[in-house]
Structure 1
Amino acid sequence: MLIYGLKRGKRGEKREKREIEGAIEEARTSVIDVLKLKYANISQSITTMLQNIQDHNELRILRREAVLAKNLSEFQTRLNAYQRI
């Protein structure tokens, strides 16, 4: 019975990890989508920087920054600031 519980617990942890990873990927995609909608083309460096971010809350903040930025250069400046933190 204990072994079954441990296996079940590990499966639950794996499921939770997949859900977190999925939420992070969804947040990242939403930032990229906003940027593409506003500016059509975004640089590979911006995409790469966003791909390296693993914090869901940071990506949510960056989505807001993408919406509020007046131009792509302004967003790049904000993104660079987050990378330094």
Structure 2
Amino acid sequence: MTDERLRKRAHGVDATLRVGKGGIESVVEELDSQLDDRELVKVKFLRAARGAGTTDELATDLAERADAEVVETRGNTATYH
């Protein structure tokens, strides 16, 4: 599926994971598990997590650790495929 189609589909997806003060390490396995069950997963980076970097930096780091692809980031939310 093209990136444009994935971004359009991501619009209707609700965030199912939240990254807080525990950091991204605490959600890597859960993101991987959710991606096994569905094509797109949205992750919201709460204020406590953003102290460690920008949303884009955190989203990229999480994608690398979970072997996922960042479809897009908007505000404090990232969508993965």
TM-score using structure 1 length:
0.25
- More helix as a share of residues: 1
The answer to which structure has the higher strand fraction is: 2
> Rg bigger for which structure?
1
